[in-house]
Amino acid sequence: MAGISRAVLTTDEAATYLGVAPSTLRTWRHRRVGPPSFRMGAKVVYRLAALDAYLVECEMADSRSNPDLDPRNAAIRPRRGRSGLRLAEAA
């Protein structure tokens, strides 16, 4: 049994894995955000694969990790005046 890895983690273990407080995971669960969890008997557990997927999702939502979200790569949009028209059109 020494080499068997677990597929699910308790709230405390998942919080340690993610580097957040257990209370943060509880808050996320009640707000229905964060990694998915489910009840296994009386315990709330998190699949290790779901925690890894959540980390990837967070990484891809960050502009420092995802070049598509980097504002320096965004196309420059023409400025608009108060009328809603592009400033070049208003003249």
Give the pLDDT confidence of 35-62 residue by residue, as tens digits: 999 999 999 999 999 999 999 988 887 7
> Residue 77's closest CA among 66, 88, 67, 68?
88
Q: What is the mean pLDDT of the segment spanning 23-34?
A: 95
Residue 4, pLDDT above cutoff 60: no
pTM for the full predicted model: 0.67
Residues 40, 15: Cα–Cα separation, whole Å? 17
